[in-house]
Homo-oligomer: A and B are copies of this chain.
């Protein structure tokens, strides 16, 4: 008991548990001028992008397995699983919707921390709101505040915490979900601190799980744990009011770096949801500039049958992470810049379908991939790509992408997000219902409750 920890404890940390709890519990919300219309629009985009991802993967084998396990508990039908007809209790819905929204690795990214914030936060909020009857406006406010908590804690611990092995989406997501749910339940600052405190004992997720169903389990489990933490606090369950910052609290236990000013600085002025981004392509972000360039080649009239070769110049990191030349299936193709280029040129897009085993093994795709000649050029930023199509007539078409579509500098437009949503949801809900659901997302702030939107997200009988 007289042993020391390996890392010097910071006994002078500011009371960030209390600071965040008061921020979440007492913030006036958007209608009282709490944030700008631009921030609020980003909240709509974040919510819609999350919902489309959840619908799209609703029948993935990970969702089926998780739902089968939950059904052993004979759950009450409290909350909708977007894209599915079954209902389960709201905590189980938070789990499963967190899983589906992250299954395709196609959800949002807070680029500074690589947190996928909507998975844990929105999954908990929609389930809770549907059951309690909270309004759409209340859900959006809770989403902005919950994401702010998760990403600010992430900013404070990143990168050391991530480098150590934590999947930061799950470890900070529990706090974001707890904060959002506490807001939705109208807990006061003291109870909100208890919710954060209970959540602080439940960071979820190790990076070793990447490539397995347990990766998307992380935002799901974080959503569930955060929702339950808020419910427990609402019934009088207690935790340490210094659970985040104390020497043996969450943050110092799971991170050797804790920059407290990332939590307290510009609180209520800078909203982290402003820095959320949405993937246009269903693969690792490092391939996105190359795919974007090939999509642009197609728009300039280049067709696959004209192509003699595609000369690709990229940063060394791109080939290090995604240099798989002959991917054997869809999962491997997500780590193949060669496949990404072929898909971008052939289809003008690279969503989940373009990474299916079937497409990956098509003869024309195999042939086109082999025409891609990649070379390393470290003068090119890892967020950029330089692509030249050499045609059979000897002519050359060149595209340089500095910032790929989907980056903060070149964000997806609202129309891009709608098209992405259709791509995910049409096969599950049909195009017409998907259109209605998209409209409901844009109008969510006016919804008296979330039940209508949830009903639109369920397949019609």
Q: Are A6 and B231 in contact (CB under 8 A)?
A: no
Q: Are B214 and A69 in contact (CB under 8 A)?
A: no
Q: Are A214 and B197 in contact (CB under 8 A)?
A: yes
Tell me the A244-293 residues at the B interface (CB within 8 Å).
Answer: 246-250, 252-254, 256
| A213 on interface, CB distance cutoff 8 Å | yes
Q: Are B73 and A89 in contact (CB under 8 A)?
A: yes
Tally of contact residues, A, Cβ under 8 A:
74
Max count, chain B CB within 10 A of own CB: residue among A204, A217, A247: A217
Q: Would you mind naming 11 contact pairs between A and B with Cβ atoms under 8 Å apart? A: A1-B321, A66-B232, A66-B235, A167-B201, A197-B212, A206-B249, A207-B253, A208-B246, A208-B250, A208-B253, A213-B239
| A86 on interface, CB distance cutoff 8 Å | no
A285 nearest CB across to chain B (Å): 11
| A389 on interface, CB distance cutoff 8 Å | no
Tell me the A334-350 residues at the B interface (CB within 8 Å).
Answer: none
| A240 on interface, CB distance cutoff 8 Å | yes
Q: Which residue of B lies closest to A9 (CB)?
A: B165
Q: Are B239 and A72 in contact (CB under 8 A)?
A: no
Q: Are A208 and B90 in contact (CB under 8 A)?
A: no
In the complex, chain B residues whose CB is within 8 Å of the CB of A197: 209, 212, 214
Cβ contacts A45-81/B at 8 Å (1 or 0 each): 0000000000000000110111011001111101000
Q: Are B78 and A73 in contact (CB under 8 A)?
A: yes
Instruction: Give the copy number.
Output: 2
| A384 on interface, CB distance cutoff 8 Å | no
Q: Which of B2, B163, B256 is close to A317, meaning CB atoms less than 8 Å apart?
A: B2
Q: Are B78 and A74 in contact (CB under 8 A)?
A: yes
Q: In the complex, what distance in Å separates the CA atom of A166 from the CA atom of B252?
A: 10
Additional pairs, 12, CB under 8 Å, beyond known A198-B214, A213-B237 = A3-B159, A6-B163, A7-B164, A62-B237, A64-B235, A69-B231, A197-B214, A201-B205, A202-B202, A207-B253, A209-B240, A217-B237
Q: Which of B1, B65, B89 is close to A232, meaning CB atoms less than 8 Å apart?
A: B65
| A25 on interface, CB distance cutoff 8 Å | no
Contact flag A73-B61 (CB < 8 Å), given A206-B200, A209-B239, A221-B202: no
| A361 on interface, CB distance cutoff 8 Å | no
In the complex, chain B residues whose CB is within 8 Å of the CB of A214: 197-198, 201, 237-240, 243
In the complex, chain B residues whose CB is within 8 Å of the CB of A62: 237
In the complex, chain B residues whose CB is within 8 Å of the CB of A200: 206
Q: Are B202 and A235 in contact (CB under 8 A)?
A: no
In the complex, chain B residues whose CB is within 8 Å of the CB of A64: 235-236
In the complex, chain B residues whose CB is within 8 Å of the CB of A353: none
| A242 on interface, CB distance cutoff 8 Å | yes
Q: Which of B201, B207, B242, B247 is close to A170, meaning CB atoms less than 8 Å apart?
A: B201
